[in-house]
Each structure stands twice: as C-alpha cells, then as structure tokens.
C-alpha cells in the first residue's frame, strides 16, 4: 500500500535525522569525513522529513474523509392519507422530491392563509 511506503519513508528520514543530530553533539574534529557529509545534509533531511510528514498527513485525511457516512435526507411527514407531504407518491418513491416541492406544497398554503388573515385585519 502506498500509505505504508510513505510511513516507512518518514520513519527512515527521522532515523537519519536522529543519527545526524547525535553526530552534531560530538566535537567536529572527532568526526570522520563520511560523518561530516551527513552533518552537512541536515537541512536537506529536515526538508525531506517535512515533505514526508505532509504526505502521510494528507493520506490520513483522505482515508478519514472517505470513511464518513453520509446523512440520510429528512423525509417529509406523512399526511392523514399516508402520502408524503408535498411530494406526489411516485416522486417520493424515486427520491425526486426536492425542498422546492416541499416549499410550494406546504409552506406556500400556510403563507397564503397568514397573508389572508393579515389583509382581513387591515380592512
């Protein structure tokens, strides 16, 4: 799996960094030529660690995001006849009932009744 390879790369880079940081703690004149070359690469290793850590984090976020469950849409309440609110029975079964249909079928009549009562109170 590519995720395992990225994590392995990150572990390896961190191991090299620990080794180089240990070499830095020693006296510079006691280091061999190969050890000095490793110490000179510390900036490159830190950049590689940062990139590898970012790749692992992105992989984990992608894996976490794909496992989330989607919420089910809220169904309209059924009326006395057993119909699903503003949605015609056939559309409800097919999942084609939208919020607009709900607004037209339920909210508009309520608004119209309220508007009629308001207009009567002004007269």
Q: pLDDT tens per residue, the chain (123 residues)?
A: 688 999 999 999 999 999 999 999 998 889 999 999 999 999 999 999 999 999 999 998 888 876 656 666 655 555 555 555 555 555 555 555 555 555 556 666 666 666 666 566 666
At residue 107, the pLDDT reads 62
At residue 106, the pLDDT reads 62
Of the candidates 96, 115, 72, the one whose C-alpha atom is nearest the C-alpha of residue 86 is: 96
At residue 24, the pLDDT reads 92
What is the rounded distance in angstroms from the CA atom of residue 2 to the CA atom of residue 63?
12
What is the rounded distance in angstroms from the CA atom of residue 20 to the CA atom of residue 42?
7
At residue 65, the pLDDT reads 78
At residue 108, the pLDDT reads 60
Chain CA centroid to CA 88, Å: 35
Distance (Å) of CA 37 to CA 28, 32, 34, 114: 12, 9, 5, 83
At residue 118, the pLDDT reads 59
At residue 80, the pLDDT reads 55
Buried b (16+ CB within 10 A) or exposed e, 40-66: eeeeebeebbeebeebbeebeeeeeee
At residue 62, the pLDDT reads 86
């Amino acid at each position: 799996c590519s995720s395992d390879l990225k994590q392995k790369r990150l572990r390896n880079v961190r191991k090299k960094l620990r080794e180089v940081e240990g070499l830095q703690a020693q006296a510079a004149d006691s280091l061999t030529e190969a050890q000095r070359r490793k110490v000179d690469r510390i900036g490159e290793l830190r950049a590689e660690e940062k990139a590898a850590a970012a790749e692992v984090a992105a992989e984990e976020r992608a894996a976490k995001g794909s496992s989330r469950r989607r919420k089910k849409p809220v169904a309209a309440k059924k009326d006395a006849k057993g119909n699903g609110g503003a949605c015609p029975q056939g559309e409800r079964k097919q999942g084609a009932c939208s919020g607009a249909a709900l607004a037209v079928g339920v909210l508009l009549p309520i608004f119209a009744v309220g508007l009629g009562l308001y207009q009567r109170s002004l007269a």
